[in-house]
Chain A
Amino acid sequence: MTEVSARFSNVHKRFGDVDALSGLELSIPRGSVVALLGRNGAGKSTALRCLVGLERPDSGQLSVVGHEPLTLDVPMRQRIGYLSEDGVPFPFATADKLIRFCAPLYPHWSGALEQQILSRFQIDPRRKLRDLSLGQRRAVGLLLAVCPQPELLILDEPAANLDALVRREFLDIVLGLVGDDDARRTVIFSSHILSDVERIADRVAILHHGRLLIERPLDELKEQVRRLRLMFAGAPPERLELSGLLSLRRAGHEMRATVIGYDDDAIEDLAVDLHARVEVQQLGLEELFIDLVDDGDSAAAAAAI
């Protein structure tokens, strides 16, 4: 049985009249690097904040490293690293002061990793955060999250607004942390930069309107998801009920369906059943993401999977 690092079971969270999470179901296996994708307002940050106990879900169940997030005690918290999207809120503190504060709180603080990050980003620990560049400030936040060598690392848009070089450095550090196979560390991060996701994630979860649209290993997702261009001689059918349908669009006599789990034989059968000519397109992660979230029907279609 797969060991689970974090689990959302039918989690709901509402802010005023906005549903941030609407019955989120997601399990994150231990040792995986999971990317949470979604549009702005899809619920990624709320999901991560619920996971570290910063938000209390309205209903549903959550577990992180086997415990309920709101009741985590000090030893449990030592097993979790978290970097919020706002970074570190102490502009007048020096990096050194922050490190001196955090390091004694964790039993496995890595001085080597700390040195590596400081020198890699050329951070002078005696300077105040406000005097550092944006990339350096984010790096200090990353340092505070990864140096405890946590069992579960949660990063909320760690590389937002950073240049390509700094992003690459960030990813290398995260990859270095998860490279240790024995430790079986889990990383959950949210991002809008799909090239980064393709580089480090081994699983992808796409959220839309607070729901999970799809969650699969990245390779499996790229292999199994296809876009079918269905060309009909006459008018296309009003409804198209397919198993594994992720999104559907109509344009004249054509329909574009993004589906999962269809091999060549299944596609041939589909063409025969629908009396349509079918063109198959393999999708990259970016196209897949856009197909899934830039369609009002996708949520309903995903519910039918």
Chain B
Amino acid sequence: MELVRRDRPSLWKTVALILRARDEDSPAARALVVIVATLSVLLIMLLALARLGSPLAGGALRFFFMACASTFLTPLVVGLEAHRTRALNFLRVLPQPVATKWLFLLPGCAGGGAIALLSLALLPIPAALALLGCGCWAAAVGHAFAGRRVAMVVLVGWTLSFLPILATFVLYPMLGWNCAAAAALAFGVVGCLAAPRDRLMPLVSGSSHRAAACGTPSVPPSQELFARPGRGRARWTALRVFRLTAAAFPERPRQKVFGFLPMMIGLATFGTIMAWILPVLAMMTMMSLAIIAGSRLALAMSPAVVDFMSTRPVKRGSWMRGAILPWILLAAVVPCTALLRAGTAETMWRSELAQLAYPAATIRAALTPEPGERGARPQESIAVSPALRRLQIAQIGRMSILQLALFAGCAAAGLAERRGRRRDKWIAYGLVMVSMALMIGCWFPTPHRAWGPGPLWLVWLAAASCAWAFVRELRVVQQPSRRTRVDSRPRLPLRDRAR
């Protein structure tokens, strides 16, 4: 008996083993963890602020904020389970202190429990029940779409997951919280009953459609595909490099969400249009685009892709234009558009006045009634003064710099991780976190809070550091002598290896 007990790893060792499992796609998975953690912290902070009576303190607004955040995050958290499938498959053949399924279920259950407690503390009971229904439905949708095609996950999965919120949004004003909660709970119950609970474990054991596809005999190639037009000369090489390197996705189906090119192009288009109309608002919502573009650049310049491209007869300029430039442009398009439109009076949405992150005293001064007037002036009646315009330009400029810093930091972290440069990776992740913190600081309605966006010199310092890290990693990619290969970990002394 004792022998058996000694053979079993402890729960902590098991968890450590899972966390240490190195897969090809770990940078994006870790970036995802960082995003989820940051958003969770943000959620909790906002809830705490709401408790103190901030402008978000309205019950319905609080509910919809929590519901949207948890519905957005839940499928991602469910998706994280699949990122450790190799480690978990390995664990299945070892004697375990806990059943493997609990390694899946515990983190999600803990997160769900925390949200449930918070909702009970901050929301009326019917609203909390509605939130529970929304969460159950989102988790069920997450399970149902695990391992599906990207288009299905993005277009159908996420759309479906927001259905109970939509139902609540429609029912709450007309019939009140009780009806809305009943509808959301109905969604939750249906989701729980219909969720394919047996779907996840087969995914873990690797019996996905891929394995089935590999086992089936291949279809003989059709003859027309052998005819290759335009052999004579390579044209548009940079564009073709971009198309190919954009396909350098990691093996895991879940991360295709982040490499889904049409989705990113759509997001960039949407962001650009928004930046043209409402620059401040666009800058606040486009953080994800910078992170995704940075992670994609790291994938497009991963060691295997670099090896492939650098042994082909492709000019270095075309290669770099195809593999790097599009991602930089993608990250820069929204900030640049916003900067172009910054300071134009017609783009100043009135409610943005409250969102401009500059000293509260300035805002107060802007809203203070003229001598002789009674009470504060309504926002609609305030013309955008040149002083406010300058502040808007400063705000958009600050967020643009931070967006680009975020992009550069994410790209640097991904590049460093994919080359096994641990120290550089953690430095880059640190810079990413600083940039994110500064950016989140810019989001808060500072007229009511003491927490502002931080001093400008700190913004510039973060941006310069991220840019330095990015350029440094790119130089490593371009210089073979400085690359560190993953398989160059310290090995046994030569003599021992010979034996």
Instruction: Report the Cα distance A122→B219, complex, angstroms.
Output: 7
Residues of chain B in range 305-327 having any CB-CB distance to chain A below 8 Å: 305, 307-308, 310-315
Contacts of A295 in B (CB 8 A): 498
Q: Please, how many angstroms separate the alpha-carbon atoms of A49 and B307 in the complex?
A: 9
Minimum CB distance partner of A91 in chain B: B251
A109 to B237, CA, bound (A): 17
Given contacts A56-B479, A88-B308, A104-B233, contact A93 B218 (CB under 8 A): no
Query: B311 touching A111 by the CB < 8 A rule?
Result: no
A106 adjacent to B313 (CB under 8 Å): yes
Q: Per-position contact with A for B311-351: 1 when CB-CB < 8 Å, else 0?
A: 11111000000000000000000000000000000000000
Q: How far is the CB of A75 from chain B (nearest CB, A)?
A: 7
Separation of A133 and B211 alpha carbons in the complex (Å) = 9
Pairwise interchain contact A54-B311, C-beta atoms closer than 8 A: yes
Q: Bound complex: CA of A77 vs CA of B495, how far in Å?
A: 38
A interface residues, how many (CB within 8 angstroms): 64
Interface residues of B in 175-231 (CB under 8 A from A): 210, 213-214, 217-222, 225-226, 228, 230-231
**Residues of chain A contacted by B304 (CB below 8 angstroms):** 84, 86, 89
The stretch of B108-116, B394-402, B481-489 in contact with A is B481-489
Among A14-22, A169-177, A224-232, the stretch that binds chain B is A14-22
Name the B residues within 8 Å of A99 (CB-CB).
228
Are the CB atoms of B313 and A77 closer together than 8 Å?
A: yes
- Chain A's nearest CB lies how many Å from the CB of B49? 42
- Please state if A16 and B488 are interface contacts (CB–CB under 8 Å): yes
A1 interface residue per 8 A CB criterion = no
Once A75-B313, A105-B312 are accepted as A-B contacts, the answer to whether A126 and B225 lie under 8 Å apart by CB is yes
Name A176-220 residues within 8 Å CB distance of B. 208-209
Q: Is B77 in contact with chain A by the CB < 8 A criterion?
A: no
Residues of the B chain whose Cβ atoms lie less than 8 Å from the Cβ of A55? 480-481, 483
Q: Which chain B residues in 228-286 approach chain A with CB under 8 Å?
A: 228, 230-235, 237, 240, 243-244, 247-251, 256, 259
**B250 proximity list for chain A (CB < 8 A):** 91
* Chain A nearest Cβ from B134, distance in angstroms: 33
A77 touches B312 (CB 8 A): yes
Q: Does A236 contact B (CB under 8 A)?
A: no
CA distance A105 to B318 in the complex (A): 12
Partner pick for A15 among B232, B244, B488, CB 8 A cutoff? B488
* Chain B residues whose C-beta falls within 8 Å of the C-beta of A9 in the assembled complex: none
Given A54-B307, A90-B244, A123-B221, does the pair A118, B226 have CB atoms closer than 8 Å? yes
Total contacting residues, chain B, CB less than 8 A:
54
Q: Which residues of A contact B488 (CB under 8 A)?
A: 15-16, 18, 20
- The answer to whether A124 and B305 touch (CB under 8 A), given A77-B313, A104-B230, A105-B314, is no
Task: State whether A52 touches B313 (Cβ < 8 A).
Answer: no
Q: CB distance B226 to A115 under 8 Å?
A: yes
Q: Does A102 contact B (CB under 8 A)?
A: yes
Q: Which residues of A contact B313 (CB under 8 A)?
A: 74-75, 77-78, 105-106
Q: Are B494 and A209 in contact (CB under 8 A)?
A: yes
Q: Chain B: which residue is nearest A298 at the CB level?
A: B498
Q: Does A103 contact B (CB under 8 A)?
A: yes
A244 interfacial contact with B, CB 8 Å? no
**Residues in B neighbouring A293, C-beta threshold 8 A:** 498
CB atoms of B248 and A89 under 8 A apart = yes
Chain A: minimal CB distance from B236 (Å)? 10
Is residue A23 contacting chain B, with contact meaning CB distance below 8 A? no
Contact residues of A between 84 and 140, Cβ < 8 Å to B: 84, 86, 88-93, 96-106, 109, 111, 114-115, 118-119, 122-127, 130-133, 136
Expressed in whole angstroms, the Cα–Cα distance for A90 and B243 within the complex equals 11
Say if the beta carbon of B6 comes within 8 Å of chain A.
no
Q: Are B232 and A125 in contact (CB under 8 A)?
A: no
The answer to whether B374 has its CB under 8 Å from any CB of chain A is no
In-complex Cβ contact of A131 among B210, B308, B481, B498 (8 A)? B210
Across the interface, do A109 and B231 meet the contact criterion of CB distance under 8 Å? yes
B375 within 8 A of A: no
CA A136 to CA B213, docked complex, whole Å: 13
Q: Which residues of A contact B231 (CB under 8 A)?
A: 103-104, 109, 111
Cβ B247 vs Cβ A92 within 8 A: yes
Cα–Cα distance between A69 and B237 once the two chains are bound (Å): 22
Chain A residues near B308: list those with CB within 8 A. 84, 88-90
- Does A70 make an interface contact (CB < 8 A)? yes
Query: CB-CB contacts of B64-77 with A at 8 A, as 1s and 0s?
Result: 00000000000000
Contact with A101, one of B213, B244, B498 (Cβ below 8 angstroms): B244
Q: Write out the residue numbers on chain A whose beta carbons fall within 8 Å of the beta carbon of B497.
A: 39, 41
- Chain A residues, CB < 8 A from B234: 104-105
Q: List 11 A-B contacts (CB under 8 A).
A: A17-B490, A54-B311, A54-B483, A77-B312, A82-B311, A100-B228, A122-B217, A122-B218, A124-B218, A124-B220, A130-B210
User: Knowing that A54-B311, A98-B244, A132-B218 are A-B contacts, what are 6 other residue pairs whose CB atoms are under 8 Å apart, sorted by A's residue number?
Assistant: A18-B490, A53-B311, A74-B313, A105-B312, A119-B221, A127-B219
